[in-house]
Amino acid sequence: MLFNVMLKNIFYINKNRVNSLPVLVFIFVIVFTDAVKAEEQPAVRDATITENTIEQYLEEIHRLEVTYGPHHEAIGENLISLSKLYEAQGDKLKKHETLEQALQIHRLNYGLHNKEQLPIIEQLIANNIDLQNWEALDRNYDYLYWIHRRIYGVDSLELLPVLNRVLEWKLKVVKEGLFGNPDIMNLQVVKLTRKVKKIRNLHLGESSPLLKRTVFY
């Protein structure tokens, strides 16, 4: 469409035998500028929509707090949706704060040991990895392990997947010196390794095919 406009103008200029070069340059600048503006408009529009949607969620959360109190379960649901909008904006700090608030409300409404909070914790883990907030990430992993122990039992076979995740994380902290006292972290690694071996011996045994699916240290 833009090239058609330029071609029509070129034809008109040549037909009337005008010095076409300055005019062509002028036409090209105008057409190119309009094209750039046209491409930018959807992004600006999307950003405006996101901002408006965030304001709507904040207003709804405020209404729920005033009407039902600060710990109503619907507030937690709205906070989770709000965190996704902050993610879309690339605002990971606000996403982190929003998810932490949602997790607190969820625990108050459904208890400390419920499975339904696990997706929120997984989102916090992913977000803290992006933020490189290693101490907060370590707390997330510790809490993830604690919940699984409460749900399944301290020596349950179901603990192995999360145990291996936590153990891999602790080893990474030690290897790369991400934070904290290395002696304390090494002690945690030893304890987790012993727990993995204990569960393996209790439930799997050396000949079990399930053993091949699990990483041990």
- CATH assignment of the domain containing 14: 1.25.40.10
What is the CB neighbour count within 10 angstroms for residue 73?
14
Instruction: Tell me whether residue 112 is in a domain.
Output: yes
- The predicted structure's pLDDT at residue 39: 47
- The predicted structure's pLDDT at residue 84: 95
- The predicted structure's pLDDT at residue 187: 96
Beta strands in the chain (DSSP E): none
- The predicted structure's pLDDT at residue 211: 46
CA atoms within 13 A on the CB side of 14: 6
- The predicted structure's pLDDT at residue 207: 52
| Cβ 20 vs Cβ 10: under 8 Å | yes
Among 79, 102, 131, the domain boundary falls at 131
CA–CA separation, 18 and 27 (whole Å): 14
CA–CA separation, 81 and 60 (whole Å): 12
- The predicted structure's pLDDT at residue 45: 54
Between the two ends of the chain, the Cα-to-Cα distance in Å is 64
Instruction: Tell me whether residue 136 is in a domain.
Output: no
Are both 107 and 146 inside the same structural domain? no
| Per-residue confidence in pLDDT tens, the chain, 217 aa | 544 544 444 444 444 444 544 444 444 444 444 444 444 454 445 667 678 899 999 999 999 999 999 999 999 999 999 999 999 999 999 999 999 999 999 999 999 889 999 999 999 999 999 999 999 999 999 999 999 999 999 999 999 999 999 999 999 999 999 999 999 999 999 999 999 999 999 988 755 554 444 444 4
Are both 74 and 157 inside the same structural domain? no
For 9, the domain range is 1-131
What is the pTM for the complete model shown? 0.73
- The predicted structure's pLDDT at residue 37: 46
Are both 16 and 72 inside the same structural domain? yes
Give the total number of structural domains in the chain.
Answer: 2
Are both 4 and 111 inside the same structural domain? yes
Are both 89 and 155 inside the same structural domain? no
